[in-house]
Structure 1
Amino acid sequence: MSVSESTTIQSYHQEELQQILNLAIVRQANGGEFSRTQLVEIAAELGISPANLQLAEQEWRLQQQQQHKRQEFEQYRRSQLKQRLGKYIIVNGFLVVINLLSAGQLSWALYILLFWGAGLGLKTWNTYQLQGDAYEKAFQKWYRQQQFNQLTQSIFTRLNNWIKATG
């Protein structure tokens, strides 16, 4: 599209508008950061009410917190996978050595190695699958467990402080 063609466009879709404004804001940015005051000024210039701006900020913060929790969950899943892989290597290495020493060849240990390896392969697939119902269910389960752990830790901390204060 040439410059003369772009001047004849009279309207933009919301997504196009956002893309254009994002590019303009990136070009305008001083060192890549804006102050809260600048954010309010930009919103006012765009005709965005302070209430809508505040709601948008709250929604953005919630999205950032959710993204951070998902990153924690993914890191947790990878650490669990590393532990399983370590157990697999240690146990199967030991079984292969026993099999080789007792039978002189790899026989029965091979079956354990293959079946356990297939299970570990599926677990690896699930760990790096970051979308879908199974991922969402696993994330929700982990998130509820994290909230429960935080709640019980808070209760025990308060109970401990109360016991120290009365004792």
Structure 2
Amino acid sequence: MTYDSEDVQKILEIALTRKQEGEFSREQLLEMASELGISSDILETTEKKWFAEQEEERSLHTFNTFRRRGFWTHFVSFLAVNLFLIILNFITSPSYFWAIFPVLGWGLGLFFHWWGVYQSKSEDYEIAFQKWHSQI
């Protein structure tokens, strides 16, 4: 039976998880790499790349959380103000529903805010992330 590199990686990953629940030391990592014929230079380069990817992932998660909190703050404001306007409309002039205009206008803005926050596969998202990342 033969295995491709992806299968080998998955099998070893599962075996290592079963062998030692918990954490590995750096020395153990170096020892495992040398047993697999991986040079310390390749391991170090890969390790640095992995740390950079982990940091990028954490930054993206923090950025998404920041943007979503901003959206939900906007949403709560929208509900509170427009509910007040609708109540005021029914009290002052129940025959004419003028509150629909701010609800629709602000609702359109809220929709675009939602779209911008939850659409994370666009160039605008990348630009916003880079700008935010440079400010922190």
TM norm structure 2: 0.87
How many aligned residue pairs are there? 136
C-alpha distance in structure 2 between counterparts of 1:115 and 1:67, whole Å: 36
Percent identity at matched positions?
38
Paired AA for residue 27 in structure 1: R
**Are residue 117 (structure 1) and residue 128 (structure 2) matched?**
no
- Equivalent in the alignment of 2:9: 18
Name the structure, 1 or 2, with higher relative contact order (CA <8 Å, separation 6+): 2
**Are residue 32 (structure 1) and residue 60 (structure 2) matched?**
no
The answer (yes or no) to whether the contact 1:99–1:105 under 8 Å persists in 2 is: no
Q: Is the alpha carbon distance of 1:42 and 1:100 closer, same or farther for their aligned partners in structure 2, counting shifts above 3 Å? A: same
- Equivalent in the alignment of 1:59: 49
User: Which one has a bigger Cα radius of gyration?
Assistant: 1
- Equivalent in the alignment of 1:69: 59
Q: Is the alpha carbon distance of 1:106 and 1:25 closer, same or farther for their aligned partners in structure 2, counting shifts above 3 Å? A: farther
Give the unaligned 5+ runs of structure 2: none
Paired AA for residue 75 in structure 1: T
Give the unaligned 5+ runs of structure 1: 1-7, 147-167
**What is the CA deviation profile of residues 88-131 of structure 1, one whole-angstrom value per residue up to 9, with x for unaligned ones?**
12221222122112211461111221231232123223322333
Q: Compare 78-87 and 41-50 and name the one that shifted more.
A: 78-87
Q: CA RMSD in A?
A: 1.8
